[in-house]
Chains A and B, each alone.
Chain A
Amino acid sequence: MFKKINYLLISFLAPLIGLISCAPKNEPVLKVAVATNFLTTADILVEVFKRSTGIEVLLISGSSGQLATQVINGAPYDIFLSADDVYPSKLSSLGFADAQTQLTYALGQLVLYGAGDVEQNLKSGNFYKLALANPKVAPYGLAADRVINNLNIRSNVEGRIVYGQNVGQVYGFVKTGNADLAFVALSQVKDIKKPYWRIPQSFYSPIMQDAILLRPGLTNKAAHDFLNFLSSDEARKIIIKSGYEVPQNG
């Protein structure tokens, strides 16, 4: 009886131990924390960067707030690609990043997405639920909040606004039919046939997505190279193609 159990145990444990010991041995040279909204673009950038330099980059994604929290609590990232310019500034003022390296790698573009003539539907209040990212934690949410003010439709939409933690969740609310209008990022919908309204830049302050060199990256040459690469023409072309703008004269 006991023998049987022992064999059973071993047959379960042996492959498990094998799995654990097979974990990747070589640590990637460069660890980049990236805001989730930029992850798919960052994947392309990392691929191109690797092709020209041979440097392996590990991307860690999360919301900008989560990533900043991780950095403050000792996460060993070299570079932070935030979805805004507030968290990088906060990190440098707290001594976790080098203020001089902060640069805007992309300008987020806000769009209104949903069913039918979205612009008309928003302005006339012809919708059921309007989703936006939480203005307190998400830069696209803050921008959307401004747009609502600037269009003077606050009283009309109040009570029908629902919040997602980020534009990804907001997009999901529309996709699953739980909301029929949503403020999302152009980068999320640029390949979709459904009509959307690209909000004129005059309605909101630019969504500056900033990168910054973190403390562990200071002595890492690859980190400096990657930051330089971000403002290269090649990288800027990829970023624009993904649905962002880039600042003039980089």
Chain B
Amino acid sequence: MVEFGPLILTLKLSLVVTVLLLFIGTPLAWWLSCTRSKLKSFIEALTALPLVLPPTVLGFYLLILFNPTSPIGSFWINITGESLSFSFFGIVLASVIYSLPFMVQPLQSAFENVGFEIREAAASLRASPLDVFIKIVAPLSKRGFLTASILTFAHTLGEFGIILMVGGNIPGRTKVMSIAIYEHVETLDYNQAHILSGMLLVFSFCVLFLIYTFNRRHPLNVG
């Protein structure tokens, strides 16, 4: 008997996080790629933090931020009636923070690769900054978008530590694949652990394989 609940939940989480991060990460990466502000290094360091921090640090802080008596936690309860901790949205928020660099960094380097000359040429022809982005930079950064999305999706797929700390292991809401596998290993139920792990392994490989194949067949000539 295979349980599909955790698989479906994991895919849903990864998808939601990827879409959200596309909206958050694109403007952020665009700003980082153009700005000459002194704040740039500061924001870049902040964005890269989840790469180096152990999930326990983020999980611990989120547990404190999410609790119903904290400003953020109580605000969320007031508007939704649900707590952030132990909820699907809670792990979405946690994953957005955790996967942020996987979206922002590839996008930023893609935007930077487009080159200043071409942007300036467009600007001198009176294209607004938004026009420059939509008509020139975005189409030339297709591959960056694809890479960033896939990395974000795959990274969220493999998330474990933070969700273990703030999720509360609730079937259908926060019990994702990695948590379910952990539970099966812990109860020495190696059969189920094998099935779920195998599924995750094959799926992850297929996703990565497809993206590398795609990248080879459609090399983008930039600049």
CB of A90 within 8 A of CB of B188, answer yes
Q: A162-B170, A164-B168, A178-B85 are in contact. Are A136 and B183 (CB under 8 A)?
A: yes
B85's closest neighbor in chain A, by CB?
A: A178
Interface 1/0 per residue, B152-191 and A, CB below 8 Å: 0000000000001110111000000000000101111000
Q: Between A and B, how many residue pairs show CB distances below 8 Å?
A: 59
Docked complex Cα distance between A178 and B85 (Å): 7
Q: Note all chain B residues with C-beta closer than 8 A to A69.
A: 185-186, 188
A199 within 8 A of B: no
CB of B67 within 8 A of CB of A65, answer no
- Smallest Cβ distance from B41 to chain A, in angstroms? 23
Docked complex Cα distance between A65 and B221 (Å): 53
Q: Note all chain B residues with C-beta closer than 8 A to A173.
A: 63, 85, 168
Q: How many residues of B contact A (CB 8 A)?
A: 22
Docked complex Cα distance between A63 and B63 (Å): 21
Chain B interface helix/strand/loop/mixed = loop
Docked complex Cα distance between A44 and B216 (Å): 62
- Smallest Cβ distance from B115 to chain A, in angstroms? 32
Docked complex Cα distance between A165 and B63 (Å): 15
A163 within 8 A of B: yes
- Smallest Cβ distance from B58 to chain A, in angstroms? 14
For chain A, residues 128 to 184, give those with C-beta under 8 angstroms from any C-beta of chain B: 128-129, 131, 134, 136-137, 161-165, 169, 172-173, 176-178
B50 within 8 A of A: no
CB of A177 within 8 A of CB of B69, answer yes
Q: Please, could you name 6 A-B residue pairs with CB atoms under 8 Å apart, sorted by A?
A: A162-B168, A165-B169, A169-B165, A172-B63, A173-B168, A177-B73
Measured CB to CB, the residues of A under 8 A from B are 63, 65-66, 68-69, 72, 90, 128-129, 131, 134, 136-137, 161-165, 169, 172-173, 176-178
If A137-B186, A165-B164, A178-B166 are given as contacts, then 6 extra A-B residue pairs at C-beta distance below 8 Å, sorted by A number, are: A128-B83, A162-B86, A162-B168, A163-B169, A164-B168, A177-B68
